[in-house]
Amino acid sequence: MVFNEIIKRPLISLGGLNSKTTNEFLDHFKDVTIANISKGITLNIHKKSQSHPKKIFPNIIPATPEDAKTITEIYLDAFDGSYPFKEMEDEQAVRKMIDSDNYQWFIFRDHHDEVAGCFTYHLNFPEKKGYMRGFILKKKYFGKIDVVKTTIACMIAIWTLYRNRIYVWYAENRTAHAKAQHMAVVCGIRPIAFFPNKDVFLNKVESDIMHIIYDEKALYKYRRKDVPVIIPKAARGFYYANERYNLGEVILEIPIFSLDHIKLTILKKTIITRIEKDRFGYEKITFSYRNSDAYFTFLYTPQVQNFEKTEYYVNNSEELFVFLQELKNFIRRYNIRYCECFVSAYLPEHQKIFYDTGFFPRGYVPSWKYNPSLNKFEDHIVFNYYEGALDENMKLVEESESLLFILGEL
């Protein structure tokens, strides 16, 4: 893989930066050119509102497998060894990720060549989707690194490099502080969904805000053309997303249907559960039925007591209903605090079954999943369930407050 350096150009102002797409963001920085130089990233940007002119803009270097131990040390330092996703503290696991074409990792070094932090991109090429995670600094660099300028430099490099392969970029930002939310919004990565009580950091339960930005092709060329059909309870999330992305029409529908109780009884007797556990304690749990291609799979993360990364396929509503009843059993059995599912915006019966099972819609995500058979992106609704009281002292930027207010969470 070829990594690039951003060459210094005349000063570019951040004033007015409010991109709706990666295309607009990159156009704002069109005078910053990319060259095939592997020494790292440099960038010359003038921030009109700069209040800390002495903050460091670090050297941003693409990580190599030899940096794996260094990266684990960054995580250990920043979180005092309490980071819940233990693969990030494991040198072998980090080395494997860096070696993979599905990850791009940056190391930040100060002007004395000391390691200050790192940043990770997880690239899902079949789904044309990229996950931005782990902008981490060692504690001694808190407040000393120009995080906004550093974030912008990373985004210019990555979004340019993968602009014809990745069309959707997203992040899950903490609400314990507003720094990551602010960094995202400056780059046009906007709030889209709320994940209440999803995570645990520094041994404290926290909520997350999902942020997202698109290549314009994902929204206007490859987005599925037929009108979404959603239950009224999901309308708030749609109207929020529509205000930003001009999605067009939506049909609100309360589906009326009945479940076949004989079929339900048969399905309950034929359900199969498979659990695959890895060395970090993660469990991939899959439900299926004998003599059916239906499945329901999700990931259990014991350190944070949640179920996520849910995927499912069913042939009828009865199969989904029984899967969700079994999911509720597992939520009780595993003492789960948070569970999350993305549900198609074109299947109101599925949405109603999730809602009736106890899941609530907390975000409408346009062009979330790529359907290769249609060569189209499809909208989805975030349905989640959580236990416990929310933190009354969440730190939110204005855009996050607006999302939660519209969703009825504030």
Q: What CATH number has the domain bearing residue 21? A: 3.40.630.30
Q: What is the spatial distance between Cα 354 and Cα 243, in angstroms, rounded to a whole number?
A: 26
Q: What is the spatial distance between Cα 330 and Cα 285, in angstroms, rounded to a whole number?
A: 10
Are 160 and 257 in a shared domain? no
Domain membership of residue 16 (yes or no) is yes
Contact 175, 395 (CB under 8 A): yes
Are 379 and 298 in a shared domain? yes
DSSP letter, residue 408: T
Q: Which domain holds residue 43?
A: 5-166
Are 25 and 103 in a shared domain? yes
Are 66 and 142 in a shared domain? yes
Domain membership of residue 207 (yes or no) is no
Are 118 and 234 in a shared domain? no
Q: Pick from 166, 187, 212: which residue ends a domain?
A: 166
Are 149 and 10 in a shared domain? yes
Contact 182, 49 (CB under 8 A): no
Q: Where are the alpha helices (DSSP H) in 230-389?
A: 235-245, 261-270, 317-333, 348-357
Residue 209: predicted pLDDT: 97
Backbone phi, psi, residue 183, to 5°: -60, -40
Nearest residue to 244 (alpha-carbon basis) of 271, 219, 208: 219
Q: Pick from 166, 188, 214: which residue ends a domain?
A: 166
Domain membership of residue 220 (yes or no) is no
Domain membership of residue 44 (yes or no) is yes
Q: Pick from 166, 198, 217: which residue ends a domain?
A: 166
Are 148 and 291 in a shared domain? no
Are 158 and 265 in a shared domain? no
Q: What is the spatial distance between Cα 264 and Cα 259, in angstroms, rounded to a whole number?
A: 8
Q: Name the 3-class secondary structure at 266.
A: helix
Residue 29: predicted pLDDT: 82
* Count of domains observed in the chain: 2
Are 286 and 143 in a shared domain? no
Q: Name the 3-class secondary structure at 320.
A: helix
Nearest residue to 211 (alpha-carbon basis) of 187, 182, 189: 189
Are 108 and 253 in a shared domain? no
Residue 54: predicted pLDDT: 79
Domain membership of residue 218 (yes or no) is no
Q: What is the spatial distance between Cα 182 and Cα 205, in angstroms, rounded to a whole number?
A: 21
Q: What is the largest CA-CA distance in the chain?
A: 72
Structure tokens at 3: 């990594």
Q: Per residue of the chain (410 residues), what is the pLDDT tens digit?
A: 344 443 333 334 555 467 899 999 999 887 765 544 345 555 555 444 444 567 888 989 999 999 999 999 999 999 999 999 999 999 999 999 999 999 999 999 999 999 999 999 999 999 999 999 999 999 999 999 999 889 998 999 899 999 999 999 999 999 999 999 999 999 999 999 999 999 999 889 999 999 999 999 999 999 999 999 999 999 999 999 999 999 999 999 999 999 999 999 999 999 999 999 999 999 999 999 999 999 999 999 999 999 999 999 999 999 999 999 999 999 999 999 999 999 999 999 999 999 999 999 999 999 999 999 999 999 999 999 999 999 888 999 999 999 999 999 97
Q: Please list, in sequence order, all residues whose beta carbon lies within 8 angstroms of the beta carbon of residue 238, skipping any fewer than 6 positions away.
A: 228, 230, 247, 250, 345, 364
H or E segment and range at residue 179: helix 179-186
Domain membership of residue 255 (yes or no) is yes
DSSP secondary structure, 39-106, as one string: S-B---EE-TT-S-TT-B--EEEE--GGGHHHHHHHHHHHHTT--S-GGGG-HHHHHHHHHSTTEEEE
Say what the pTM is.
0.92
Are 320 and 403 in a shared domain? yes
Contact 26, 162 (CB under 8 A): no
Nearest residue to 271 (alpha-carbon basis) of 285, 284, 286, 289: 289
* Residue whose token pair is 């060549």: 113
Domain membership of residue 141 (yes or no) is yes
Residue 363: predicted pLDDT: 98
Are 261 and 143 in a shared domain? no
Domain membership of residue 43 (yes or no) is yes
